[in-house]
Amino acid sequence: MQQRSVKEKEPRLRSSTVALRLNNLGVEFPTALGNPVVAIRDLSLEIDHGTILGLVGESGAGKTTLARSLLNLPPVPGRITSGECIFDGTDLRKLSEGEQRKRRGRDLSIIVPNPRSELNPMITVGDQIATRAEIHLKIDRAEAQARALEMLKKVQIPDPVRRMKAYPHELSGGMAQRVVIAMALVCSPQFVISDDASSGLDVTVQAQILRLMRELAMEQQSAMLFITRDIGIAAHFCDQVAVMYAGEIVEIGTRENIFLRPRHPYTIMLMAAFSHNAGLRAQWRRPDDQAAPRNSQGACSYASRCPLAQEACRSDHPHLRELALGHQARCHFPVERL
Amino acid sequence: MNTLTYIARRLMFIAPQILGIVLVSFLLVKTIPGDPATLMLGPTATPQAITALRHEMGLDQPVLIQFGIYLRNLSKGDLGTSWQTTRPVLEDLLMRFPATLELVSAGLLTAILIGLPLGLVSAFRPKSWFARAVDFYSLGVGSLPDFWLALVLIFIFYTLLGIAPPPLGRIDLALTPPPQITGMYLIDTLLIWDLPAFRSSLSHLVLPVLALGLINAGPILKMTQSTVEKMLQSDFSRYEVLCGLPHNLVLRHALRNALPSILTIISVLYGFLIGGAVLIEIIFSWGGAGQYAVQGVLNSDLFPVLGFVLFSAIFSLTVYLIVDLIYFAIDPRLGN
Amino acid sequence: MAVLKKPTNRSLKGDFGLGDYAQLVVRIAIARPRFLLGYLIVIVVILLGAFAPWIAPYSPVEADPSRVLLPPSWNYLMGTDSVGMDIFSRTIFAPRIDLTIAVSATLISAALGSLIGAIVGYYGEGKGIRSWLGGGVMRSADVIQAFPVFVLAIALVASLGQSPSTVVAAITFVNTPIYLRLMRSQVLSIRRARFVQAARVAGCSDWSIIMRHVMPNAMSPVLAQLSVNIGWAVLLTAGLSFVGAGVRAPTPEWGSMIAMGFQDLVTGYWWPSVCPGLVLSISVFGFTLVGASIEVFSDPAKRRTLISEISPRKVTQVTSEPAH
- Tell me if A308 is assigned to some domain: yes
Given pLDDT bands bounded at 50, 70 and 90, which one contains residue C163? confident
- Tell me if A128 is assigned to some domain: no
Q: Residues C12, A35: contact at Cβ < 8 Å? A: yes
**Which pLDDT does position B180 carry in this prediction?**
83
User: Residue C89: enclosing H or E segment and its boundaries?
Assistant: helix C87-123
Helix (H, G, I), strand (E, B) or coil at C171: helix
Residue A321 to residue A335: CA distance in whole angstroms:
13
Diameter over CA atoms, chain B? 86
Q: Which long-range contacts (CB under 8 A, 24 or more apart) does B198-201 make?
A: B200/B165, B200/B171, B200/B172, B200/B175, B201/B170, B201/B171
pLDDT tens digit string along B20-48? 888 888 887 777 777 777 777 777 778 88
Q: Which long-range contacts (CB under 8 A, 24 or more apart) does A252-256 make?
A: A252/A6, A252/A320, A252/A327, A252/A328, A252/A329, A253/A6, A253/A324, A253/A326, A253/A327, A253/A328, A254/A1, A254/A3, A254/A4, A254/A326, A254/A327, A255/A1
Contact B244 A106 (CB under 8 A): yes
- Express as a percent the part of chain C with pLDDT over 70: 88
- Tell me if A324 is assigned to some domain: yes
Q: Which of A34, A114, A314 sits opposite C12 (nearest CB)?
A: A34
Q: Which of C10, C14, C307 sits opposite A77 (nearest CB)?
A: C307
Given pLDDT bands bounded at 50, 70 and 90, which one contains residue C156? confident
Asked if residue C196 has pLDDT above 90, the reply is no
Helix (H, G, I), strand (E, B) or coil at C80: strand
Chain B residue with the nearest C-alpha to that of C241: B279
Burial of B10 (0-12, 13-18, 19+ CB in 10 A): middle
The DSSP output letter for C67 is G
pLDDT tens digit string along B176-187? 888 888 888 888
Among A163-172, A182-191, A278-287, C290-299, the minimum mean pLDDT is found in: A278-287
Given pLDDT bands bounded at 50, 70 and 90, which one contains residue A5? very low
pLDDT tens digit string along B276-287? 899 999 999 998
Chain C: closest CA distance from residue B145 (Å): 6
- In single-letter form, the type of residue at position C66 comes to S
Contact B240 A120 (CB under 8 A): yes
A184 close to C (CB below 8 A): no
Residue A241 to residue A56: CA distance in whole angstroms:
7
Residues of A in contact with C307 (CB under 8 A): 30-32, 77
- Tell me if A323 is assigned to some domain: yes
pLDDT tens digit string along A200-250? 677 777 778 788 888 877 888 888 899 988 888 888 888 899 998 888 888
Asked if residue C278 has pLDDT above 60, the reply is yes
The total number of structural domains in chain A stands at 1
Asked if residue A88 has pLDDT above 70, the reply is yes
Q: What are phi and psi of A250, to 5 degrees?
A: -100, -20
Among A83-92, A243-252, C125-134, C254-263, the minimum mean pLDDT is found in: C125-134
What pTM did the predictor assign?
0.77
- Tell me if A252 is assigned to some domain: no
Sign of CA dihedral C126, C131, C137, C140: positive
- Tell me if A305 is assigned to some domain: yes
- Tell me if A322 is assigned to some domain: yes
Contact B236 A105 (CB under 8 A): no
**Which pLDDT does position A15 carry in this prediction?**
45
Q: What is the mean pLDDT of chain B?
A: 85
A299 close to C (CB below 8 A): yes
**Which pLDDT does position C5 carry in this prediction?**
45
Chain C: closest CA distance from residue B253 (Å): 21
Residue A241 bridge partners (DSSP) = A54, A253
Residue A186 to residue A130: CA distance in whole angstroms:
9
Burial of C165 (0-12, 13-18, 19+ CB in 10 A): exposed
Residue A242 bridge partners (DSSP) = A55, A252
Residues of A in contact with B331 (CB under 8 A): 122
The DSSP output letter for C62 is -
Query: Best mutation site among C302, C307, C310, C317 for testing chain A: the one with the most A CBs within 10 Å?
Result: C307
Neighbouring chains of A at 3+ CB pairs under 8 Å are: B, C
- Where b means 16+ CB within 10 Å and e means fewer, B203-237 reads ebbbbbbbbbbbbbbbbbbbbbbebbbbbbbbbbb
Contact C289 B158 (CB under 8 A): no
Which distant-in-sequence residues (6+ apart) come within 8 Å of B68 by Cβ?
none
Which one is predicted more confidently, A65 or C11? A65
Query: Best mutation site among A27, A29, A33 for testing chain C: the one with the most C CBs within 10 Å?
Result: A33
Neighbouring chains of C at 3+ CB pairs under 8 Å are: A, B
Asked if residue C139 has pLDDT above 80, the reply is no
Q: What is the mean pLDDT of chain C?
A: 81
Asked if residue A293 has pLDDT above 80, the reply is no
- Tell me if A40 is assigned to some domain: no
Count the helix, strand and coil residues of chain B and give each as a percent rounded to the nearest 5.
Answer: 75, 0, 25
Determine the structural domain holding residue A271 and report its residue range: 263-332
All domains in chain B, ordered by first residue: 18-75 (no CATH), 92-296+304-335 (1.10.3720.10)
pLDDT tens digit string along B182-235? 888 888 888 888 888 888 889 999 999 999 999 999 989 988 988 888 888 888
A287 close to C (CB below 8 A): no
Angle among Cα B228, B231, B236 to the nearest 5 degrees reads 155
pLDDT tens digit string along B44-82? 778 888 888 777 777 777 878 888 888 888 888 888 888
Q: Which of B147, B293, B305 sits opposite C239 (nearest CB)?
A: B147
Q: Which of A33, A293, A296 sits opposite C20 (nearest CB)?
A: A33
Residue A62 to residue A71: CA distance in whole angstroms:
15
* ipTM for the complex shown: 0.82
How many beta-carbon contacts under 8 Å exist across B and C? Answer: 148
Asked if residue B321 has pLDDT above 90, the reply is no
Chain C residue with the nearest C-alpha to that of B277: C150
Asked if residue C294 has pLDDT above 60, the reply is yes
Which one is predicted more confidently, A70 or B15? A70
Helix (H, G, I), strand (E, B) or coil at C205: coil
CA dihedral of A119, A124, A126, A130, whole degrees rounded to 10:
-80
